[in-house]
Each structure stands twice: as C-alpha cells, then as structure tokens.
Amino acid sequence: MIKLFKGAGIGCFLVMFFCQNIGLAQEKKQETKAFPFIFPKEKPNRPLSASMERNYDMYAAPRPEHNDFFTRFKYTELKGFDNNNGDGTITRRDPSKVIFENGKYYVWYTKRDTPLPPRGAAKSTDVIPSADWDLCDIWYATSTDGFTWKEEGVAIKRPAKPNVGWRSVSTTDILKWKGKFYLYYQGFMETSGKRGDDCPVTVSYADSPDGPWTATHKLVIPNGAKGEWDQYSIHDPYPLVHNGKIYMYYKSDFDGNPNLIRMQGLAIADDPLGPFKKHPLNPVIAGGHETTLFPYKTGIAALVIKDGNEHYTVQYAEDGVNFHIKSIVGLMPVAAGPFVPDAFTDTKDGKGITWGLSHFNWVNGPDRVHAILTRFDCDLSQEIDDPVMKKTGIYHAPDVHYRQGLNLRQRERIAKMNQKLLEGAGK
Ligand code: AAL
C-alpha cells in the first residue's frame, strides 16, 4: 500500500515537473514570438502591453478606420447670414440640433444684435452686453441643403422684467414630443459675468416649428440647492427621447479654484414641462463644454468637447448614464448641434450623425468679439462609410499654431532658465 502511494507520489511529481517545463517552454515561445506583421483584427491570446490591451478593449475596433465612433470633422462656410462685416455687433452662436420638418431643415440659435460688441460685466449696461450671449434673443433659420440658410426671424424674444430670461435668452435646443415642439433655453435674470454665468433653464412650446411660441415663464430645470455642483448654472439643455422618457442633458460649471470646472448632468421627465428629476449619478459626463448627444446603436453617444480630462473624445453609454470613451478625435465642432433624424423616435437602433451646425467663437479678436455659425460634417453614422472621414492626421497652416504663441511671462521664464544654465556653464 505504502509502495503504491510512493509510486503515485513520484508519478505526480513527474507529471508536475513535465507540465511545468512544458508551461515554461510555452511561455518562452510566447515571449520570443514577436507581435505579427498582419495586425490581428481580434485581440490575440498573448501577453500585451497596457496600451495594446486598451487598444483592443476600450474602442469599438482596434483601428480608427473600423471604429464607428471615430471620425474627423470637415467644415464649410454657411451662406445666408450677414454679420455687419464682423464688427462684433451681431453674433450667432450655440445652435440647437437640426431637425427636418415641413420639407426643410430647421435650426435655432442665440442671436445678439447690439450697438456695441461685448464689453465685460463692469462696462455692461441695459444695451451694452457683458458677454457674447448677453442681451440675446433666440432666432431660427431654415434650409433645404444645409449649406445655404434663410434667417426666418425671432422665435423667442426675451420677456419683460422680472420674467425668467428678461436679461437674455440663449443656448436653446429643440424637442418634438407628441406632435408639439418645445424649445428649452437659458433664461438669464442677471447680467452674465456679474458673479458667474448664472442661470436656470426655461421652456416655450408651439404647435409648429415656425411658432408662435408660448412661454411658460417657469424654471423647468432649476439650479441645484446651495452647495450642490449645479447651484449656479444650468447650461446647454439638450433633450432626447430615450426609454420612452425625455432625457435632458445639461452642463454646469462649478468649483472655480483656480478655474471653473465643467461637467454634464442628466435630468429625466415623463412630460416636456416636467418635473425633471436629476439623475443621482450626476455629473454623468466628467467634462465637455456644450452638450452634443445622439442615439447611436442601442444607447446614447456624446461628443465631449473642450473641457476636462476626456475632452476631444466620443463617448457611449448603453444606458444613457454611464459613458465610456470610444474614440479620441481632433478639431471637434464647438457647441455642435448635429442633424439627428432619430432624436425623438425612441430608437433602439440609433443611426448616428453625419453633419450639423456649430460655432466659431471669438471671431475678430477681443474688441469685436462675436461668434459665427458654421457647418461641420463627420462620419459617426451606421448609414455611411466614408474612409476620408476616418483619417487621423490633421495638418494646420503654421499660422494656426503660431496664434497659440507664448505670452510675455512665459518668454521671461524661458529667458531666466536659459540664464541659469549659462551661468552654470560659466558663461
Ligand atoms: C456657451 C454655453 C452656454 C454658456 C455660454 C452661452 O458655449 O456653454 O451658452 O452660458 O457659453
């Protein structure tokens, strides 16, 4: 019996010894075999660096040209908008998403037409704006090709004091729900820049995209309570229909030490006039500036533009709440308002976006601050497959880079560092 156990013990030992050696040999083989020249479409079963792990796990495909969430952006000047030769007295900015109704495209936007360009909060008056979006009304335009637009007129005028939005109405977006149209917008009741950029969101509704619009004069998305992240500003309201409800994304700015931090929240309602219930996980996107989202595949995709660690990414949330980075992109449209054909259909197969309007800020420098609307094109769509939109390299004229030049303080710092080195070298 003992002999038998002894024999089995030796047997086990030998099996373990051989297995281990085979394992070692395999490991050795794996180590020495270099990553293949033909790039594996699927994640290969071999040791990978952190970067390669991420490349296979994080994105929809390991190459940008196969990644439905990767795109480049192309820009085209719009026709049909005049702006007093860019003297800063007229601005058009923060376009809504574009919708198609009555055989044409519609867009709404912030319009300022003031005797002088913005002069900062301290120099602002009842007619001189503090900021580019101060003393504004909401206008709309239509188009049949998306390139040439006809400015139709004012949609929402700022109401008489003390109604919400009496100082300025701006940064609107559109919802179509059960045959009616709803414009949500920032309603300023103090001059932007006096304390911060503080405002709540209100809503007007109409039976047709051409109006007339009925103002509710109500705070439909109120600021958070004192001490909460969105206590001062609710910006960029952006409604979509998802899971049979109205998903209202918005941005707020907070902290301020040393700079404001900008993040995006979500509020959900069963009715366009509310109540909107803020999501307990807010902020749901830890970055971005203006809100740009659209139904994509079975969830919601977001362009995360300008602010935060994850600026210049396209993100995706299956549930509309928990967003993940799906691509890193360049030259993103600012304040993008895409054409989203299925924004209100509660789709479970979102087709994505191929174009929209956005704005260029700070046109003509600090004395003539204003923004202009532009068109952007992209391929974040299940319906087109445009290889030109999947190229990663973007080259700018040297001028674009030199405009991001060093300031005087930075030149001084560099001179001091040079001096220190020269002194060290005994020169
Ligand atoms: C924009 C938006 C909001 C801000 C201001 C006007 O880009 O984020 O609308 O209040 O700037």
The predicted model gives 366-384 an average pLDDT of 96
Contact 210, 265 (CB under 8 A): no
Lowest mean pLDDT among 30-44, 59-73, 310-324: 30-44
Q: Where are the domains of the chain?
A: 74-397
How far, in Å, is the centroid of ligand 1 from the Cα of 42? 42
Report the amino acid identity of residue 122: A
The predicted model gives 309-314 an average pLDDT of 97
The larger pLDDT score, comparing residue 13 to residue 40, is at 40
Residue closest via CA to ligand 1's atom 9 equals 171
Asked whether 170 lines ligand 1 (CB < 6 A), one says yes
Contact 292, 303 (CB under 8 A): yes
- Spatial distance between the Cα atoms of 78 and 375, rounded to a whole number of angstroms: 6
Asked whether 173 lines ligand 1 (CB < 6 A), one says no
* 237 phi and psi angles, rounded to 5 deg: -60, 135
CA dihedral of residues 346, 347, 353, 357 (deg, nearest 10): -10
Structure tokens at 96: 């809504």
Asked whether 264 lines ligand 1 (CB < 6 A), one says no
**Whole-number mean pLDDT of the chain?**
93
Asked whether 289 lines ligand 1 (CB < 6 A), one says yes
Q: Does residue 3 surpass a pLDDT of 50?
A: no
Q: Where does residue 214 rank: exposed (0-12), middle (13-18), buried (19+ CB within 10 A)?
A: exposed
User: What's the confidence (pLDDT) of residue 394?
Assistant: 86
Residue closest via CA to ligand 1's atom 4 equals 235
Report the amino acid identity of residue 193: G
User: What's the confidence (pLDDT) of residue 15?
Assistant: 46
Asked whether 307 lines ligand 1 (CB < 6 A), one says no
- Spatial distance between the Cα atoms of 71 and 74, rounded to a whole number of angstroms: 10
Q: Does residue 11 surpass a pLDDT of 60?
A: no
Contact 154, 185 (CB under 8 A): no
User: What's the confidence (pLDDT) of residue 30?
Assistant: 52
Structure tokens at 136: 């504004």
User: What's the confidence (pLDDT) of residue 5?
Assistant: 44
Asked whether 215 lines ligand 1 (CB < 6 A), one says no
Q: Does residue 87 surpass a pLDDT of 80?
A: yes
User: What's the confidence (pLDDT) of residue 12?
Assistant: 43
Asked whether 354 lines ligand 1 (CB < 6 A), one says no
Give tens-digit pLDDT for 267-308: 999 999 999 999 999 999 999 999 999 999 999 999 999 999
User: What's the confidence (pLDDT) of residue 1?
Assistant: 42
Q: Does residue 257 surpass a pLDDT of 90?
A: no
Residue 13 confidence class, pLDDT cut points 50, 70, 90: very low
Q: Which CATH class is domain 74-397?
A: mainly beta
pTM: 0.91
**Residue of 168, 170, 234 to test ligand 1 pocket, by largest number of atoms within 8 Å of CB:** 170
